[in-house]
Amino acid sequence: MLRVGSVCEAGKSRLNKTGDWRTLRPQVTDKCNGCGICELFCPDSCIVLENKKAVIDYDYCKGCGICANECPKQAIEMEEERN
Amino acid sequence: MSVSVMEGSMAVAEAIKVCRPKVISAFPISPQTHIVEELSKMVADGQLDAKYIRVDSEFSAASAVYGSSATGVRSYTASSSQGLLLMIEVLYAMAGTRLPVVLTGVNRTVSAPITIQPDHQDTMALRDTGVIQLHVENSQEAYATHIQAFKLAEDHDILLPVMVCMDGWILTHSYEPIKLEDQKLVDSFLPNFVPKYRLDPKNPLTYGAYADEQVQEFRLMQHFAMERAKSKIEVIANDYQKIFDQYYGGLIDEYKCDDAEVVLVAMGSVIGTFKDAVDTLRTEGVKVGIVKVRSYRPFPGEKIAQAVKNARVVAVMDKSMSVGQGGPLATDVKSAFANKEAPPVLSCIAGMGGRDVTIETVRKMVTKAQLALKTGKIPDIEYTDFRPEYLED
Ligand code: SF4
Ligand code: SF4
Protein backbone atom coordinates (compact mmCIF):
# COMPACT_ATOMS: atom_id res chain seq x y z
CA MET A 1 0.00 0.00 0.00
CA LEU A 2 1.33 3.39 -0.99
CA ARG A 3 1.39 6.04 1.66
CA VAL A 4 -0.01 9.50 1.08
CA GLY A 5 2.63 11.86 -0.26
CA SER A 6 5.10 8.99 -0.86
CA VAL A 7 6.29 9.37 2.72
CA CYS A 8 8.04 6.16 3.78
CA GLU A 9 10.32 4.70 6.45
CA ALA A 10 13.67 6.36 6.93
CA GLY A 11 16.72 4.92 5.23
CA LYS A 12 15.20 4.53 1.78
CA SER A 13 17.88 6.74 0.26
CA ARG A 14 20.42 4.03 1.07
CA LEU A 15 18.90 1.84 -1.61
CA ASN A 16 20.39 4.00 -4.35
CA LYS A 17 24.18 4.02 -4.14
CA THR A 18 24.54 7.56 -5.35
CA GLY A 19 28.34 7.34 -5.21
CA ASP A 20 28.50 5.82 -8.66
CA TRP A 21 27.93 9.13 -10.44
CA ARG A 22 31.02 10.67 -8.79
CA THR A 23 33.61 12.12 -11.16
CA LEU A 24 35.96 13.49 -8.48
CA ARG A 25 37.11 11.43 -5.50
CA PRO A 26 37.98 13.06 -2.18
CA GLN A 27 41.06 11.51 -0.53
CA VAL A 28 41.78 12.17 3.14
CA THR A 29 45.51 12.67 3.66
CA ASP A 30 47.74 12.51 6.74
CA LYS A 31 47.18 16.23 7.36
CA CYS A 32 43.74 15.37 8.85
CA ASN A 33 43.61 16.13 12.60
CA GLY A 34 40.06 14.82 13.10
CA CYS A 35 38.42 18.16 13.80
CA GLY A 36 35.14 16.89 12.28
CA ILE A 37 34.25 19.95 10.24
CA CYS A 38 33.92 17.97 7.01
CA GLU A 39 31.60 15.53 8.76
CA LEU A 40 29.25 18.42 9.51
CA PHE A 41 29.40 19.89 6.03
CA CYS A 42 29.03 16.79 3.87
CA PRO A 43 25.56 17.10 2.28
CA ASP A 44 25.31 13.33 1.94
CA SER A 45 26.31 12.55 5.53
CA CYS A 46 28.89 10.10 4.26
CA ILE A 47 31.86 11.15 6.40
CA VAL A 48 32.42 9.71 9.87
CA LEU A 49 35.34 10.13 12.23
CA GLU A 50 37.17 6.95 13.08
CA ASN A 51 40.25 7.05 15.33
CA LYS A 52 40.36 10.85 14.95
CA LYS A 53 40.43 10.66 11.20
CA ALA A 54 37.80 11.42 8.56
CA VAL A 55 36.61 8.29 6.77
CA ILE A 56 34.50 8.61 3.61
CA ASP A 57 31.82 6.15 2.54
CA TYR A 58 32.30 6.03 -1.25
CA ASP A 59 28.99 4.25 -1.78
CA TYR A 60 27.29 7.59 -1.23
CA CYS A 61 29.96 10.30 -1.71
CA LYS A 62 28.93 12.19 -4.86
CA GLY A 63 32.26 14.00 -5.15
CA CYS A 64 30.95 17.52 -4.67
CA GLY A 65 34.17 18.65 -2.98
CA ILE A 66 32.51 20.61 -0.20
CA CYS A 67 34.54 18.68 2.39
CA ALA A 68 37.80 19.60 0.63
CA ASN A 69 36.72 23.20 0.45
CA GLU A 70 35.74 23.42 4.12
CA CYS A 71 38.68 21.52 5.65
CA PRO A 72 40.83 24.10 7.52
CA LYS A 73 43.89 21.86 7.12
CA GLN A 74 43.49 21.30 3.36
CA ALA A 75 43.66 17.64 4.30
CA ILE A 76 41.27 16.46 1.59
CA GLU A 77 42.45 16.23 -2.00
CA MET A 78 40.06 15.86 -4.90
CA GLU A 79 41.31 13.40 -7.49
CA GLU A 80 39.83 12.28 -10.75
CA GLU A 81 37.64 9.21 -10.22
CA ARG A 82 39.22 6.25 -12.00
CA ASN A 83 37.06 3.39 -10.67
CA MET B 1 -17.12 39.99 16.20
CA SER B 2 -16.24 43.49 15.06
CA VAL B 3 -16.57 45.42 11.84
CA SER B 4 -13.87 47.79 10.54
CA VAL B 5 -13.19 49.43 7.25
CA MET B 6 -9.95 48.09 5.81
CA GLU B 7 -8.06 47.20 2.67
CA GLY B 8 -8.64 43.74 1.20
CA SER B 9 -5.01 42.86 1.95
CA MET B 10 -5.53 43.68 5.63
CA ALA B 11 -8.62 41.47 5.67
CA VAL B 12 -6.49 38.58 4.42
CA ALA B 13 -3.78 39.29 7.01
CA GLU B 14 -6.44 39.39 9.74
CA ALA B 15 -7.83 36.06 8.53
CA ILE B 16 -4.38 34.45 8.55
CA LYS B 17 -3.74 35.83 12.03
CA VAL B 18 -6.81 34.14 13.53
CA CYS B 19 -5.79 30.88 11.83
CA ARG B 20 -2.62 30.93 13.99
CA PRO B 21 -0.03 29.69 11.47
CA LYS B 22 3.33 28.79 12.97
CA VAL B 23 5.41 29.65 9.91
CA ILE B 24 4.95 32.33 7.26
CA SER B 25 7.42 32.82 4.47
CA ALA B 26 7.04 35.16 1.53
CA PHE B 27 8.82 37.42 -0.91
CA PRO B 28 7.08 40.71 -1.65
CA ILE B 29 5.58 41.32 -5.09
CA SER B 30 2.80 43.66 -6.19
CA PRO B 31 -0.10 43.36 -5.58
CA GLN B 32 0.49 40.74 -2.85
CA THR B 33 2.84 43.00 -0.85
CA HIS B 34 0.46 44.53 1.67
CA ILE B 35 -0.70 41.12 2.89
CA VAL B 36 2.73 39.85 3.81
CA GLU B 37 3.92 43.26 5.01
CA GLU B 38 1.04 43.36 7.48
CA LEU B 39 1.70 39.78 8.60
CA SER B 40 5.37 40.48 9.21
CA LYS B 41 4.34 43.49 11.28
CA MET B 42 1.91 41.37 13.31
CA VAL B 43 4.71 38.89 14.02
CA ALA B 44 7.18 41.66 14.92
CA ASP B 45 4.64 43.32 17.23
CA GLY B 46 3.99 40.05 19.01
CA GLN B 47 0.35 39.90 17.91
CA LEU B 48 0.96 36.67 16.04
CA ASP B 49 3.05 33.86 17.50
CA ALA B 50 4.67 32.67 14.29
CA LYS B 51 8.07 32.49 12.68
CA TYR B 52 8.30 34.86 9.73
CA ILE B 53 11.03 33.70 7.35
CA ARG B 54 12.41 36.37 5.03
CA VAL B 55 13.71 34.83 1.82
CA ASP B 56 15.46 35.78 -1.38
CA SER B 57 12.79 34.60 -3.83
CA GLU B 58 9.40 32.99 -4.19
CA PHE B 59 11.13 29.69 -4.89
CA SER B 60 12.69 29.93 -1.43
CA ALA B 61 9.41 31.05 0.16
CA ALA B 62 7.60 28.01 -1.20
CA SER B 63 10.51 25.78 -0.18
CA ALA B 64 10.52 27.19 3.36
CA VAL B 65 6.83 26.47 3.89
CA TYR B 66 7.23 23.07 2.24
CA GLY B 67 9.76 22.28 4.97
CA SER B 68 7.80 23.80 7.84
CA SER B 69 4.60 22.05 6.80
CA ALA B 70 6.52 18.76 6.67
CA THR B 71 7.54 19.28 10.30
CA GLY B 72 3.83 19.40 11.09
CA VAL B 73 3.03 23.06 11.61
CA ARG B 74 0.44 25.25 9.91
CA SER B 75 2.19 27.27 7.20
CA TYR B 76 1.29 30.11 4.87
CA THR B 77 2.69 31.97 1.90
CA ALA B 78 1.41 34.33 -0.80
CA SER B 79 2.49 35.62 -4.17
CA SER B 80 1.45 37.05 -7.54
CA SER B 81 2.25 36.76 -11.21
CA GLN B 82 5.95 35.97 -11.88
CA GLY B 83 6.34 35.06 -8.21
CA LEU B 84 3.70 32.36 -8.47
CA LEU B 85 5.39 31.07 -11.60
CA LEU B 86 8.68 30.84 -9.72
CA MET B 87 6.92 28.75 -7.06
CA ILE B 88 5.52 26.21 -9.50
CA GLU B 89 8.27 23.62 -9.20
CA VAL B 90 7.89 23.57 -5.41
CA LEU B 91 4.08 23.58 -5.60
CA TYR B 92 4.10 20.36 -7.63
CA ALA B 93 6.36 18.82 -4.97
CA MET B 94 4.19 20.22 -2.17
CA ALA B 95 1.00 18.78 -3.65
CA GLY B 96 2.76 15.48 -4.41
CA THR B 97 4.05 15.25 -0.84
CA ARG B 98 0.52 16.17 0.28
CA LEU B 99 1.51 19.15 2.43
CA PRO B 100 -1.48 21.30 3.45
CA VAL B 101 0.07 24.74 2.97
CA VAL B 102 -2.36 27.61 2.35
CA LEU B 103 -1.32 30.34 -0.05
CA THR B 104 -2.93 33.42 -1.48
CA GLY B 105 -2.66 33.78 -5.23
CA VAL B 106 -3.14 37.49 -5.72
CA ASN B 107 -4.06 37.51 -9.40
CA ARG B 108 -1.90 39.58 -11.71
CA THR B 109 -1.00 39.44 -15.39
CA VAL B 110 2.13 37.55 -16.45
CA SER B 111 4.89 39.18 -18.55
CA ALA B 112 5.49 39.99 -21.38
CA PRO B 113 4.48 42.77 -21.83
CA ILE B 114 5.10 43.66 -18.22
CA THR B 115 2.26 45.10 -16.21
CA ILE B 116 1.13 44.80 -12.64
CA GLN B 117 -2.56 44.91 -13.52
CA PRO B 118 -4.83 41.99 -12.66
CA ASP B 119 -6.04 39.05 -14.73
CA HIS B 120 -6.10 35.30 -14.16
CA GLN B 121 -3.13 34.27 -16.30
CA ASP B 122 -0.87 33.56 -13.31
CA THR B 123 -3.01 31.17 -11.28
CA MET B 124 -4.12 29.48 -14.52
CA ALA B 125 -0.50 28.51 -15.04
CA LEU B 126 -0.73 26.65 -11.70
CA ARG B 127 -3.85 24.79 -12.79
CA ASP B 128 -2.32 21.32 -12.99
CA THR B 129 -0.04 21.48 -9.93
CA GLY B 130 -2.44 19.57 -7.68
CA VAL B 131 -3.09 22.70 -5.63
CA ILE B 132 -6.77 23.36 -4.84
CA GLN B 133 -7.85 26.75 -6.25
CA LEU B 134 -10.69 28.76 -4.72
CA HIS B 135 -11.63 32.10 -6.31
CA VAL B 136 -13.26 34.86 -4.28
CA GLU B 137 -15.59 37.66 -5.24
CA ASN B 138 -14.89 40.25 -2.53
CA SER B 139 -12.67 40.89 0.48
CA GLN B 140 -15.11 39.50 3.03
CA GLU B 141 -15.24 36.29 1.06
CA ALA B 142 -11.42 36.33 0.95
CA TYR B 143 -11.43 36.57 4.76
CA ALA B 144 -13.83 33.64 5.11
CA THR B 145 -12.21 31.53 2.43
CA HIS B 146 -8.73 31.68 3.97
CA ILE B 147 -10.14 30.33 7.24
CA GLN B 148 -12.00 27.63 5.33
CA ALA B 149 -8.88 26.88 3.26
CA PHE B 150 -6.82 25.67 6.25
CA LYS B 151 -9.67 23.41 7.36
CA LEU B 152 -9.94 21.95 3.87
CA ALA B 153 -6.20 21.54 3.29
CA GLU B 154 -5.53 19.88 6.66
CA ASP B 155 -8.40 17.39 6.48
CA HIS B 156 -6.80 13.93 6.38
CA ASP B 157 -9.06 12.95 3.47
CA ILE B 158 -7.64 15.84 1.46
CA LEU B 159 -4.08 16.88 2.47
CA LEU B 160 -3.43 19.17 -0.48
CA PRO B 161 -2.21 22.76 -0.64
CA VAL B 162 -5.03 25.28 -1.08
CA MET B 163 -4.61 28.55 -2.96
CA VAL B 164 -7.13 31.31 -2.42
CA CYS B 165 -7.20 33.37 -5.63
CA MET B 166 -8.21 37.02 -5.40
CA ASP B 167 -7.97 39.76 -8.00
CA GLY B 168 -5.03 42.03 -7.31
CA TRP B 169 -5.73 45.75 -6.70
CA ILE B 170 -9.48 45.37 -7.35
CA LEU B 171 -9.78 43.44 -4.07
CA THR B 172 -6.42 43.73 -2.31
CA HIS B 173 -6.25 47.52 -2.48
CA SER B 174 -9.87 48.57 -2.12
CA TYR B 175 -11.40 49.46 1.22
CA GLU B 176 -14.55 47.83 2.50
CA PRO B 177 -16.15 47.19 5.86
CA ILE B 178 -14.87 43.79 7.00
CA LYS B 179 -16.44 41.62 9.66
CA LEU B 180 -13.65 40.18 11.81
CA GLU B 181 -14.46 37.05 13.79
CA ASP B 182 -13.57 36.30 17.40
CA GLN B 183 -10.51 34.16 17.96
CA LYS B 184 -12.46 31.70 20.13
CA LEU B 185 -15.05 31.07 17.44
CA VAL B 186 -12.37 30.62 14.80
CA ASP B 187 -10.56 28.18 17.11
CA SER B 188 -13.74 26.14 17.43
CA PHE B 189 -14.14 26.08 13.64
CA LEU B 190 -10.46 25.46 12.93
CA PRO B 191 -8.75 23.34 15.59
CA ASN B 192 -4.98 22.82 15.74
CA PHE B 193 -3.35 21.16 12.76
CA VAL B 194 -2.82 17.45 13.34
CA PRO B 195 -0.38 16.19 10.70
CA LYS B 196 -0.68 12.68 9.30
CA TYR B 197 3.11 12.36 9.12
CA ARG B 198 5.75 14.78 10.27
CA LEU B 199 9.49 15.21 10.12
CA ASP B 200 10.83 14.35 13.54
CA PRO B 201 14.50 13.55 14.24
CA LYS B 202 13.42 11.00 16.86
CA ASN B 203 11.28 9.13 14.38
CA PRO B 204 12.85 9.74 10.98
CA LEU B 205 10.91 9.32 7.73
CA THR B 206 11.87 9.66 4.08
CA TYR B 207 10.22 12.60 2.29
CA GLY B 208 10.57 13.03 -1.44
CA ALA B 209 11.29 9.37 -2.12
CA TYR B 210 12.10 8.05 -5.59
CA ALA B 211 9.46 6.18 -7.59
CA ASP B 212 8.94 5.06 -11.21
CA GLU B 213 6.50 2.19 -11.05
CA GLN B 214 4.05 3.91 -8.71
CA VAL B 215 3.91 7.44 -10.18
CA GLN B 216 0.54 6.88 -11.83
CA GLU B 217 -1.00 5.70 -8.57
CA PHE B 218 0.45 8.63 -6.60
CA ARG B 219 -0.98 11.06 -9.15
CA LEU B 220 -4.34 9.28 -8.98
CA MET B 221 -4.33 9.49 -5.18
CA GLN B 222 -4.02 13.28 -5.57
CA HIS B 223 -6.88 13.25 -8.05
CA PHE B 224 -9.08 11.22 -5.70
CA ALA B 225 -8.32 13.68 -2.90
CA MET B 226 -9.42 16.49 -5.25
CA GLU B 227 -12.62 14.57 -5.94
CA ARG B 228 -13.24 14.18 -2.21
CA ALA B 229 -12.59 17.91 -1.81
CA LYS B 230 -15.73 18.57 -3.87
CA SER B 231 -18.05 17.48 -1.07
CA LYS B 232 -15.68 18.76 1.63
CA ILE B 233 -15.67 22.31 0.22
CA GLU B 234 -19.47 22.36 0.46
CA VAL B 235 -19.56 20.89 3.96
CA ILE B 236 -16.98 23.42 5.16
CA ALA B 237 -18.85 26.35 3.57
CA ASN B 238 -22.05 25.22 5.31
CA ASP B 239 -20.28 24.75 8.66
CA TYR B 240 -18.82 28.24 8.29
CA GLN B 241 -22.30 29.60 7.68
CA LYS B 242 -23.60 27.89 10.82
CA ILE B 243 -20.93 29.45 13.02
CA PHE B 244 -20.32 32.81 11.34
CA ASP B 245 -23.60 33.38 9.49
CA GLN B 246 -21.92 34.04 6.14
CA TYR B 247 -22.12 32.04 2.93
CA TYR B 248 -20.50 32.69 -0.45
CA GLY B 249 -21.29 29.42 -2.18
CA GLY B 250 -19.64 26.02 -1.97
CA LEU B 251 -18.16 24.86 -5.26
CA ILE B 252 -20.29 27.38 -7.12
CA ASP B 253 -22.85 30.03 -6.29
CA GLU B 254 -25.89 30.83 -8.38
CA TYR B 255 -27.54 34.19 -9.00
CA LYS B 256 -30.99 34.34 -10.60
CA CYS B 257 -30.37 31.15 -12.61
CA ASP B 258 -33.74 29.45 -12.15
CA ASP B 259 -35.61 31.09 -15.03
CA ALA B 260 -32.55 32.47 -16.88
CA GLU B 261 -32.28 31.99 -20.64
CA VAL B 262 -28.72 33.28 -20.73
CA VAL B 263 -26.39 32.17 -17.93
CA LEU B 264 -23.04 33.91 -17.47
CA VAL B 265 -20.20 31.93 -15.92
CA ALA B 266 -17.18 33.67 -14.40
CA MET B 267 -14.77 33.76 -11.44
CA GLY B 268 -13.47 36.38 -9.05
CA SER B 269 -14.23 40.03 -8.51
CA VAL B 270 -16.15 40.49 -11.79
CA ILE B 271 -19.05 38.68 -10.17
CA GLY B 272 -19.98 41.91 -8.34
CA THR B 273 -20.22 43.80 -11.65
CA PHE B 274 -22.04 40.87 -13.22
CA LYS B 275 -24.72 40.99 -10.50
CA ASP B 276 -25.30 44.71 -11.11
CA ALA B 277 -25.46 44.07 -14.86
CA VAL B 278 -27.94 41.22 -14.41
CA ASP B 279 -30.16 43.38 -12.19
CA THR B 280 -30.18 46.11 -14.86
CA LEU B 281 -30.80 43.67 -17.72
CA ARG B 282 -33.64 42.06 -15.81
CA THR B 283 -35.42 45.42 -15.45
CA GLU B 284 -35.24 45.50 -19.27
CA GLY B 285 -36.87 42.08 -19.43
CA VAL B 286 -33.76 40.04 -20.32
CA LYS B 287 -33.68 36.78 -18.38
CA VAL B 288 -30.04 36.50 -17.32
CA GLY B 289 -28.40 34.62 -14.45
CA ILE B 290 -24.89 33.99 -13.15
CA VAL B 291 -22.92 30.96 -12.08
CA LYS B 292 -19.98 32.02 -9.98
CA VAL B 293 -17.27 29.37 -10.06
CA ARG B 294 -15.74 29.42 -6.60
CA SER B 295 -13.72 26.23 -6.86
CA TYR B 296 -11.68 26.09 -10.06
CA ARG B 297 -9.73 23.00 -8.95
CA PRO B 298 -11.44 20.68 -8.22
CA PHE B 299 -13.63 21.71 -11.16
CA PRO B 300 -17.35 21.41 -10.39
CA GLY B 301 -18.51 20.41 -13.89
CA GLU B 302 -21.58 18.49 -12.66
CA LYS B 303 -22.71 21.40 -10.47
CA ILE B 304 -22.41 23.89 -13.32
CA ALA B 305 -24.28 21.59 -15.71
CA GLN B 306 -27.03 21.24 -13.10
CA ALA B 307 -27.24 25.01 -12.56
CA VAL B 308 -27.65 25.80 -16.28
CA LYS B 309 -29.94 22.94 -17.21
CA ASN B 310 -32.84 25.30 -17.97
CA ALA B 311 -30.75 27.89 -19.82
CA ARG B 312 -30.74 28.23 -23.61
CA VAL B 313 -27.16 29.49 -23.86
CA VAL B 314 -24.15 29.83 -21.54
CA ALA B 315 -21.55 32.62 -21.88
CA VAL B 316 -18.28 31.95 -20.06
CA MET B 317 -15.95 34.83 -19.32
CA ASP B 318 -12.22 34.20 -19.09
CA LYS B 319 -9.69 36.73 -17.84
CA SER B 320 -6.81 34.76 -19.31
CA MET B 321 -5.95 32.73 -22.37
CA SER B 322 -4.42 29.40 -23.07
CA VAL B 323 -2.67 30.65 -26.18
CA GLY B 324 -3.50 28.33 -29.04
CA GLN B 325 -6.70 27.10 -27.42
CA GLY B 326 -8.75 29.89 -25.83
CA GLY B 327 -10.30 30.59 -22.45
CA PRO B 328 -9.40 27.94 -19.88
CA LEU B 329 -12.64 28.27 -17.90
CA ALA B 330 -14.71 28.01 -21.10
CA THR B 331 -12.68 24.97 -22.16
CA ASP B 332 -13.40 23.29 -18.83
CA VAL B 333 -17.10 24.15 -19.02
CA LYS B 334 -17.28 22.74 -22.56
CA SER B 335 -15.55 19.55 -21.48
CA ALA B 336 -17.95 19.20 -18.53
CA PHE B 337 -20.89 19.53 -20.94
CA ALA B 338 -19.55 17.13 -23.56
CA ASN B 339 -21.64 13.97 -24.06
CA LYS B 340 -24.43 15.49 -21.96
CA GLU B 341 -27.57 17.34 -22.76
CA ALA B 342 -26.47 20.90 -22.13
CA PRO B 343 -26.85 24.37 -23.63
CA PRO B 344 -24.31 25.69 -26.16
CA VAL B 345 -21.31 27.55 -24.74
CA LEU B 346 -20.02 30.93 -25.92
CA SER B 347 -16.45 31.61 -24.82
CA CYS B 348 -15.75 35.29 -24.07
CA ILE B 349 -12.31 36.72 -23.36
CA ALA B 350 -12.27 40.05 -21.50
CA GLY B 351 -10.57 41.95 -18.73
CA MET B 352 -7.03 40.88 -19.59
CA GLY B 353 -4.17 43.05 -18.38
CA GLY B 354 -6.60 44.78 -16.04
CA ARG B 355 -8.87 46.14 -18.79
CA ASP B 356 -12.06 47.17 -16.99
CA VAL B 357 -14.99 44.81 -17.14
CA THR B 358 -18.01 47.09 -16.94
CA ILE B 359 -21.75 46.63 -17.11
CA GLU B 360 -21.39 47.51 -20.81
CA THR B 361 -18.94 44.60 -21.25
CA VAL B 362 -21.46 42.23 -19.70
CA ARG B 363 -24.22 43.65 -21.91
CA LYS B 364 -22.07 42.91 -25.00
CA MET B 365 -21.59 39.29 -23.89
CA VAL B 366 -25.31 38.82 -23.36
CA THR B 367 -26.11 40.38 -26.74
CA LYS B 368 -23.59 38.10 -28.47
CA ALA B 369 -25.05 35.08 -26.69
CA GLN B 370 -28.57 36.05 -27.80
CA LEU B 371 -27.34 36.60 -31.36
CA ALA B 372 -25.68 33.20 -31.35
CA LEU B 373 -28.98 31.68 -30.29
CA LYS B 374 -30.89 33.47 -33.02
CA THR B 375 -28.48 32.58 -35.83
CA GLY B 376 -27.60 29.16 -34.44
CA LYS B 377 -23.93 30.02 -34.96
CA ILE B 378 -21.64 30.05 -31.93
CA PRO B 379 -18.26 31.72 -32.59
CA ASP B 380 -15.19 29.85 -31.31
CA ILE B 381 -14.11 32.77 -29.20
CA GLU B 382 -15.75 36.12 -28.62
CA TYR B 383 -13.14 38.79 -27.88
CA THR B 384 -15.23 41.21 -25.86
CA ASP B 385 -14.00 44.83 -25.84
CA PHE B 386 -11.29 43.81 -28.28
CA ARG B 387 -9.57 46.83 -29.86
CA PRO B 388 -8.56 45.94 -33.44
CA GLU B 389 -7.01 49.38 -33.93
CA TYR B 390 -4.14 48.27 -31.66
CA LEU B 391 -3.08 45.48 -34.00
CA GLU B 392 -0.14 45.67 -36.35
CA ASP B 393 -1.23 45.86 -40.02
S1 SF4 C 1 37.81 18.92 8.16
FE2 SF4 C 1 39.82 18.28 7.45
S3 SF4 C 1 40.98 18.08 9.34
FE4 SF4 C 1 38.83 18.19 9.95
S5 SF4 C 1 38.23 16.04 10.03
FE6 SF4 C 1 37.73 16.71 8.02
S7 SF4 C 1 39.51 16.17 6.78
FE8 SF4 C 1 40.15 16.07 8.90
S1 SF4 D 1 32.96 15.11 -1.78
FE2 SF4 D 1 30.97 15.86 -1.08
S3 SF4 D 1 29.78 14.01 -0.83
FE4 SF4 D 1 31.91 13.35 -0.91
S5 SF4 D 1 32.55 13.27 1.18
FE6 SF4 D 1 33.09 15.28 0.42
S7 SF4 D 1 31.37 16.57 0.99
FE8 SF4 D 1 30.67 14.46 1.14
pLDDT digits (tens, 9 = 90+) for B303-358: 999 999 999 999 999 999 999 999 999 999 999 999 999 999 999 999 999 999 99
Residue A1 covered by a domain: no
CA atoms within 13 A on the CB side of B213: 1
Same-domain check for residues B234 and B375: no
Q: Are residues B98 and B236 in the same domain?
A: yes
Same domain membership, residue B260 and residue B189: no
Same-domain check for residues B220 and B267: no
Provide the domain count of chain B.
2
Looking at the structure, tell me whether residues B148 and B177 fall in a common domain.
yes
- Searching chain A, which residue's CA lies closest to the CA of residue B94? A5
Q: Which of A27, A29, A30, A33 to mutate for ligand 1's pocket (most ligand atoms within 8 Å of CB)?
A: A33
**Residue A6 in domain:** no
Q: Which residues of A, range 5-34, sit inside 8 Å of B by Cβ?
A: 5-13, 16
**Of B347, B346, B355, nearest to B386 (Cα)?**
B355
CATH code of the domain covering residue B149 = 3.40.50.970
Listed as ranges, residues in chain A with pLDDT below 50 are: none
Residues B178 and B276 in one domain: no
Flag whether the pTM goes above 0.90.
Answer: yes
Does residue B97 share a domain with residue B188? Answer: yes
Which of B159, B196, B205 is closest, CB to CB, to A8?
A: B205
- Beta-strand ranges (E) seen in B10-50 are 23-26
| Percent of chain B topping pLDDT 90 | 97
**Which residue range forms the structural domain that includes residue A65?**
12-80
The long-range contacts involving B65-69, CB below 8 angstroms and separated by at least 24 positions, are: B65/B23, B65/B24, B65/B25, B65/B94, B65/B101, B65/B103, B66/B90, B66/B93, B66/B94, B66/B97, B66/B99, B66/B101, B67/B199, B68/B22, B68/B23, B68/B25, B69/B23, B69/B94, B69/B99, B69/B100, B69/B101
Question: Within a domain: residue A4?
Answer: no
pLDDT digits (tens, 9 = 90+) for B208-261: 888 889 999 999 999 999 999 999 999 999 999 999 999 999 999 999 999 999
Q: How far is A4 from B221, CA to CA, in rounded Å?
A: 8
ipTM reported for the complex, 2 dp: 0.75
B377: CATH: 3.40.50.920
At B393 the pLDDT is 74
For B11-50, how does the pLDDT look when each residue is reduced to its tens digit (9 = 90+)? 999 999 999 999 999 999 999 999 999 999 999 999 999 9
In a domain, residue A2? The reply is no
Give the C-alpha separation, B34 to A50, whole Å.
Answer: 54
Q: Given the CA of residue A54, which atom of ligand 1 is nearest to it?
A: 5
Q: How many domains does chain A have?
A: 1
Task: Give the domain range for residue B373.
Answer: 252-390
